[in-house]
Structure 1
Amino acid sequence: MKVKRVDGVLFEKMLVNGLNYLKQNEAKINEMNVFPVPDGDTGSNMRMTLENGLRSAKVNTNVGEYANELASGMLMGARGNSGVILSQIFKGFFEDIRRCSILDAREFMEGFIAGYKCAYDAVIKPVEGTILTVAREGIEHIRGQINRGMYIDSFFSIYVAEMKKSLEGTPNLLPCLKEAGVLDSGGAGYILIIEGMLKYLQDEIVDGEAIVTKDNNVIDTTKFDEYSNFDYGYCLEFILQLMVSKTDINKFNQKLFIKDLEGLGESLVVVKDGTKVKVHIHTKLPAHVITYAQTYGEFVAFKLENMALQHSSLASIEEDTKLEHVDLAKIAIVNGEELKQIYTELGCHIVLDGGKTMNTSSEEIIKAIKKCDAEKIVIFTNNKNIELACLQAIDVLKQDNIHMIKSKNSLRGYYALAMDEADNDNLDYRIKQMEAGVEAIKTITLFNASRNCNLNGVEVKKDNIVASDEDKILASSDDIYYIIKNSLEQINDISEKTMCIILKGKNFKYDTELLEKAINEANPYLEINYMDGGLEIYDAIIGLV
């Protein structure tokens, strides 16, 4: 297919082909894990993120309008670090091409440049040797070769080839990749998507299931008749184009805009994007909201629905009944019913199940936050894989009362939660206490190696027991006694006051006598407490505090 311009319909078909090509290689990407932990989910996270974007976007000949819905859907459905970064690449891409109805090669290039820059800005501490590097080098190294008159497949061919060169160099930028003998999985997944788009232009269609957009719900009008009570009001959603004839756009006061709308309804979400403002509100007075909004501009998109009909009112954020008011609401992401019960008993108000690989989406976190009626909200991430999705959720909501606690694993989160002084009126003090709890406990994770490798000078054989402190491998062997003894010798500050907590997983099959013997030899004063955590990835997490 030789084309020099791409409209929204062709762009969507290219992306679906990219998604299907990623799907074909999803397992391979998942296995490209630095640590030999059987929790690789990079391919799955990227696939689900792009899938959510495609399902959220209606086919549109205008590529800018289509990309807007696509990027919004990806933003809300982003899972894991790789998914969040992918969503940010497409967010930046959309922001650059938003006014384009069709794209030529030069506009594609400029969009991908804006995309990688947006992704870099979204990551607090960007690391080279990752998907960021691949996206940046791939496009920057070909800037001088791209012109408006070239065929689109030629542009994508050059882009893919340069990204593959960059991917091969990732181990030279990130020592852990070289040590593990793998390439960056996020970069590899991104290349598959772009290469799948190229394949469509080359008339190579990758088999896959059809993508069905989310907005296919049928309104059941029988649920509201002449005898119904009008209890719920309307769900009103619109995009407002600010107009220079009505307001000074440069001095638009978003806080005042929000304050005025808050008096007209509930569940208010306001997101300003350039000169447009997206609003979602539940109100019984839609005319008042509309009249107020028109003092600033005019509508470019508009949706009004009676909530009694229980129709999907907002593609990106579904509302749930709010919880009772509390001063400090606590949200946690865990895996399994056992941990959900443990966290609930410790006073956690909302406990999300992150699944086996802990890949909760930004949308799921947003829904949980919006259920809370609280002065302040804390979120225990319990896995580094969730932190970017959590930050993205906070950024979307634009609330300054949400605090993320980087608890790294479920046992750290458990101890931090236990440190909360619920009867203390000083909310900032309570949050600091919980943060201190995360740092106070030292943890060792135990799991079976998924492959052979050599990390941190430790030789790891497939199926051996591996001990890790989350950042590095401590020991590996088929002997639990050796594993525990060797690992504890590397942990400082173990004293007679130290308590040992062992959070057991579903596959906990160790000889507890040998395990306790090794612990007691490290410190005979250690008190050992067991908890059933139902962990799936780890056999156990040992905590010392």
Structure 2
Amino acid sequence: MAVEKIDGALFRKALIHSSRILKRNKKVVDSLNVYPVPDGDTGTNMSLTVEQAVEEARKVKGDNLKRIVDAAAWGSLMGARGNSGVILSQLFRGFAAGVPAGKDWINAQELAVAFKKGVDEAYRAVLRPVEGTILTVAREAADKLLAEAKRSKDIVENLEKMLDHARKVLDKTPEMLSILKEAGVVDAGGKGLIFLLEGFLQALKNPALIEEDETGESADPVEQGTVRADIRELEYIYCTELIVEGREIDIDALKSQVMPLGDSLLITGMNNVVKLHIHTNHPGEVLERALKWGELSKIKVDNMKLQHEEFVRSSPQQEDDKVKDTTIVAVVSGEGLKEIFKSMGTDAIIEGGQTMNPSTENILSVVNEQKSPNIIILPNNKNIILTAEQVKKLSDKNVYVVPTRSIPQGISALLAHNPLLSVEENVNNMSEALKNVITGEVTFAARDSRWNGTDIKEGDILGIVDGELIAIGTDRSEVLRELIYKMASKRDSGVLTIYCGEAVSLEEAEEVGNEVSEKYPDIEVEVYKGDQSLYYYIVSLE
């Protein structure tokens, strides 16, 4: 069946079906992680990102295409998790920008142009784009769709040819990236994109088979929730969210009208639909002022005081009410590591790390909770840095991201922080400090693989130094020794710190630490309980 245009109703159904297809196959995408370590979460991150796009698209009343794609773009931005999720959100954002205002439907040419704009936006979001990734697959798919749209008005036919081409490009990604070839996998993000495009095409070809379930599919439990540390006293009790729908909404005027009513204000949208978020003591007044601009929907008012009473009781009290100039927010997982970060000056903790990448919205909500005008974010994971960078564009505060790729780098950054210096000086010093630390990790293989000519079996113990796999064994203490000796070969003096995961004891690590002290007398060894999951040991040398 030929399809020559896509209206809002069909786009929403196709988006919902695409999300379902990716969700069903997310473990397939997760399994394509280059390292066979248990943090291959590309599929999960992409799926959670699209699910939030679907959630926002469902909220739009009526079938106006432009409003639906804009809502989906906003949802994907707020739900973006990990590098793959951020890139995907930029694809949505550019696509939405490519759909002209007031459009109820788009044809084959307009669809191709919008998709191409999405790809351009995604490339702009990445500082150093690498070929052989989701970006390559998306770009090649967009170029093919543009070419086909010049020859045919049939969107289904064009998408079929585009998908065929995209699959071939995906199969070639190992030739573009040697790391993929060695691991025997194609690019995970590219594979996730293929699943989304397949779902979209299926919906266009068989719309009767994918009637929208009004109750929606229940999402998997999301472990990426945030934990707010150091919450002492809430000035504003009610977290208020709503949608305003009207004509010619002046966003700046609305913002100025509700701003005096609270803090953590976030207003985004267009002149006909706006999403508003604010912390206030007078939610009724917020609703009254918003009502002047149009109809209200999706009203949500949460009592944060009740939600966080336990945190307030268990958190240390401030000696005075002076607002700090700068607040440090860190992404950390593991009770022991959380306590270490708090003791070193971290003001707010976001639960997350390996396999638990917080979303843009998770980080943004914590940032907006802080009273300080300046916020420094420590992502502490290479897959969270890009998500944190998105928050800089969305918050009214001065947000700085120190690109910490690991827990040891985060701790090194904290050591370099001096509250007597300006925020700019501190960000510079903290970023420079990252060069002084060597990071080691001991974990297990989540699947069979092959690396540097060596066969890896599921369950093998792996030692990784600054992202390089250097040890494979069956005994975690032996792998820890080998990993530390490799680190010491790069720097035979300094402070070596071992953070034990939840599955191992301090005694086990201390035994290895004593051996290291004897072998390298110029290295001071410290052992702490980090309680992190998945990684038996995290090691730093600086």
Q: Specify if TM > 0.5.
A: yes
Equivalences, count: 502
Rate the CA distance shift 1:469–1:52 in 2: closer, same or farther, 3 A. Answer: same
- Residue of structure 1 equivalent to 2:361: 363
- Residue of structure 1 equivalent to 2:520: 523
1:30-49 per-position Cα deviation (integer Å, ceiling 9, x unaligned): 11010111111111111111
Residue 23 of structure 2 aligns with an amino acid whose one-letter code is: K
Decide whether the 8 Å contact of 2:77 with 2:360 is kept in 1: yes
> How far apart, in 2, do the equivalents of 1:233 and 1:145 lie?
48
Bigger mean CA deviation after superposition, 129-138 or 97-106: 97-106
Matched, 1:3 2:3: yes
Q: Cα distance, 1:343 vs. partner?
A: 1.8
Residue 40 of structure 1 aligns with an amino acid whose one-letter code is: G
1:113-163 per-position Cα deviation (integer Å, ceiling 9, x unaligned): 011111111111111111110000112134222148622221221121111
Q: What pairs with 1:87-486 in structure 2 (closer than 5 Å)?
A: 87-99=89-101, 100-147=103-150, 150-203=153-206, 205=209, 212=216, 266-269=263-266, 303=296, 310=302, 325-354=323-352, 357-397=355-395, 399=397, 401-422=398-419, 424-456=420-452, 459-479=455-475, 480-481=477-478, 484-485=481-482
Q: Cα distance, 1:464 vs. partner?
A: 2.2
Bigger mean CA deviation after superposition, 476-485 or 412-421: 476-485
TM-score by length of 1: 0.81
> How far apart, in 2, do the equivalents of 1:231 and 1:17 lie?
38
> How far apart, in 1, do the equivalents of 2:215 and 2:340 lie?
38
Decide whether the 8 Å contact of 1:235 with 1:306 is kept in 2: yes
Q: Cα distance, 1:241 vs. partner?
A: 7.8
Rate the CA distance shift 1:311–1:211 in 2: closer, same or farther, 3 A. Answer: farther
SS in 2 for 1:527: strand
Decide whether the 8 Å contact of 1:68 with 1:98 is kept in 2: no
Rate the CA distance shift 1:522–1:138 in 2: closer, same or farther, 3 A. Answer: farther
Q: Cα distance, 1:482 vs. partner?
A: 6.1
Decide whether the 8 Å contact of 1:460 with 1:466 is kept in 2: no
Q: Cα distance, 1:491 vs. partner?
A: 4.8
Decide whether the 8 Å contact of 2:375 with 2:399 is kept in 1: yes
Bigger mean CA deviation after superposition, 501-510 or 534-543: 501-510
Unaligned runs of 5+ in 2: 219-235, 305-310, 313-317
SS in 1 for 2:186: coil
1:177-206 per-position Cα deviation (integer Å, ceiling 9, x unaligned): 111110001110111011011112232847
> How far apart, in 2, do the equivalents of 1:372 and 1:231 lie?
14
Residue 357 of structure 1 aligns with an amino acid whose one-letter code is: T
SS in 2 for 1:348: coil
Decide whether the 8 Å contact of 1:330 with 1:378 is kept in 2: yes
SS in 2 for 1:36: coil
SS in 2 for 1:153: helix
Q: Cα distance, 1:311 vs. partner?
A: 9.3
Of all paired residues, the percent bearing the same amino acid is 30
Decide whether the 8 Å contact of 1:233 with 1:306 is kept in 2: no
Give the counterpart of 1:536 among 533, 536, 542: 533
1:456-491 per-position Cα deviation (integer Å, ceiling 9, x unaligned): 455534322211123221222235436634653465
Report the RMSD for the aligned CA atoms in angstroms.
3.8
Decide whether the 8 Å contact of 1:458 with 1:473 is kept in 2: no
SS in 1 for 2:206: coil
- Residue of structure 2 equivalent to 1:218: none
> How far apart, in 2, do the equivalents of 1:209 and 1:521 lie?
65
> How far apart, in 2, do the equivalents of 1:157 and 1:304 lie?
39
TM-score by length of 2: 0.81
Decide whether the 8 Å contact of 2:29 with 2:191 is kept in 1: yes
Residue 374 of structure 2 aligns with an amino acid whose one-letter code is: K
Matched, 1:16 2:19: no
Residue 350 of structure 1 aligns with an amino acid whose one-letter code is: A
Q: Cα distance, 1:366 vs. partner?
A: 0.5
1:221-261 per-position Cα deviation (integer Å, ceiling 9, x unaligned): xxxxxxxxx99798786589879xx9xxxxx9x8x997898
Rate the CA distance shift 1:131–1:210 in 2: closer, same or farther, 3 A. Answer: farther
> How far apart, in 2, do the equivalents of 1:445 and 1:233 lie?
39
SS in 2 for 1:141: helix
Rate the CA distance shift 1:8–1:115 in 2: closer, same or farther, 3 A. Answer: same
SS in 2 for 1:29: helix
> How far apart, in 1, do the equivalents of 2:354 and 2:37 lie?
12
